Structure formats: C-alpha cells, structure tokens
A and B are shown apart, each in its own frame.
Chain A
Amino acid sequence: MIADIQIPDALLVQDYVAGNEDALATLIKRHESKIYGFIYSKVSDRDVANDIFQDTFIKVIKTLKSNSYNEEGKFLPWVMRISHNLVIDFFRKNKKMPMYRETEEFSVFSIMTDDSLTIENQLIADQVELDIQKLIQELPEDQKEVLIMRMYKDMSFKEISEITGVSINTSLGRMRYALMNLRKVIDKHQIILTN
C-alpha cells in the first residue's frame, strides 16, 4: 500500500495503458472516496452516486484503452471533470422526471396532497348544490327548461332548440336570462354559494 502511494498517478496511468490491470485498481482505490464523495455531495443519494461513479470510470477506462488520454499528471482533476459532467447530465434528465425520496429533512407528503374535499367541504358543496337546485325551480318555465337541458343534461343549444321548437338564438337568450335571474336572486338574498 505504501509503495502504491509513492507511485504517481501518471505512471499508474501509463502502466494501465500498457496493459497492467492492477494499476487501475490502485488508481480507483486511491481516489474512490474523493470522487464518490464529490458525486454524493451533489446528488445526495447513494444509489445514484454509485451509478454515476460507475459511469465515470467506464468513460475513464474507454478513454485510456483507446489511447485518447493525454493529460499526464492531472488524472484526478480529469476524472472529477467527467463525474461533474455526468452529474449535470443526471440533473438534466431528472428535471424531466424528478425522483423524490423520503429523508429526515424532507417528507414526501409535503409535496403529495389529497385534492379530494374534506367531509366538511363535501357537506358545504352538497348544500350549495341543493340551494342552486331550489333557486332553479323558481325560474320561469322556459328559462328553467333550457338551463336544465344545458347544465344537467349537457345538451348543445342546437339539440335544445330542436326539442323545445325554438331557434338557437332564443335558446341562448333564455339561458342568458336564466343566469341573470339566478344572479339577481342570489344578490338580493345575499346567498353565499362558495365552498
């Protein structure tokens, strides 16, 4: 081990390129904690850090084996730069589909919400619905008919005009008056129809 520390990185790289596989083991052992620590400090996830660490060295191995490496004496900064680029790639990919993991400081429930109404809000919504139905019953017959067909039966104005035997414009006009009348009654009696 002591002998390993004394051999400079550049020599180990040379050895490795020449075919000595042990030189790579020494290089990895020498720098693994620095590189892994660097990656982990950015991604804060052990599994992701392991993946990026692996990808980093796959690139290192490929570059060295294809004799494309020419930064003698700067092995660690070079590897760090590769891992840095891979971390950036990871965040770019992750932006499209972020992964959330529960930690001590972060609860997934802080971003997961239940949008359904609470029982109280459901009761209020039911009450509002009931009030509106009562108000609709107070409308003149022709307006009530159009409004029910449009809002509750989801019919188009064309269908409504065919069934009621009036023109589309008349149906539209009746709907408009129905809504205006409803608003008037709501304002007059100051009925609150919000949840």
Chain B
Amino acid sequence: MAKIYSKKNQLISNMKPKKEVISFLLNYSKSLHMIKVADNSFEIIAN
C-alpha cells in the first residue's frame, strides 16, 4: 500500500491549555510579590 508522506493537518485552532495550568498561574500570580531594592529584585511567594 502506498505510504502517505504528507502530515495530517492537526486541529490547532481551538486548543487550550489544561484548566489546572490556568488555575496554577492565577494562584501563582496572587501569591507572588516582587520587591525591588536598589538593583535587586526579591520574590516572595505567600502560601
């Protein structure tokens, strides 16, 4: 049987990341505080 060398079109248009990823990012954003002291910046992650 002939081999098809062309790649199948993937349905990329409506793909979304996992809900867990989004919720992690939003929680991470809420807990993260950046403090700049002179040229240094410090990250504080509050649990």
**A contact residues vs B (CB 8 Å cutoff):** 21, 24-25, 28, 32-33, 36-37, 40-41, 44, 49-50, 53-54, 57-58, 61-62, 65-67, 104-105
> Total A-B residue pairs with C-beta atoms closer than 8 Å?
63
22 CB contacts below 8 A, A to B, read A21-B29, A28-B26, A33-B15, A37-B14, A37-B15, A40-B10, A40-B12, A40-B15, A41-B10, A41-B12, A49-B15, A53-B17, A53-B21, A54-B17, A57-B25, A61-B25, A61-B29, A61-B32, A62-B34, A65-B34, A66-B36, A104-B8
| Residue ID in chain B nearest A63 by CB atoms | B34
CA distance A14 to B15 in the complex (A): 27
Q: How far is the CA of A74 from the CA of B10 in the complex (A)?
A: 28
B-side interface residues, number (CB < 8 Å): 24
**A41: nearest chain-B partner, CB-CB:** B12
A21 touching B30, Cβ below 8 Å: yes
The one of A25, A36, A65, A105 that contacts B8, using a Cβ cutoff of 8 Å: A105
Report, nearest first, the 5 A-B pairs whose CB atoms are least far apart: A65-B34, A66-B34, A37-B12, A53-B17, A36-B17
Inter-chain CA distance A66–B32, complex, in Å, is 10
Q: Roughly how many angstroms separate A154 CA and B24 CA in the complex, as a whole number? A: 63
**A49 and B12 alpha carbons, distance in the complex (Å):** 12
Bound-complex Cα distance A44 to B12 (A): 10
Minimum distance in angstroms from A183 CB to a CB of chain B = 46
Complex alpha-carbon distance, A40 and B12, angstroms: 7
Give Cα distance in the complex from A2 to B24, angstroms. 25
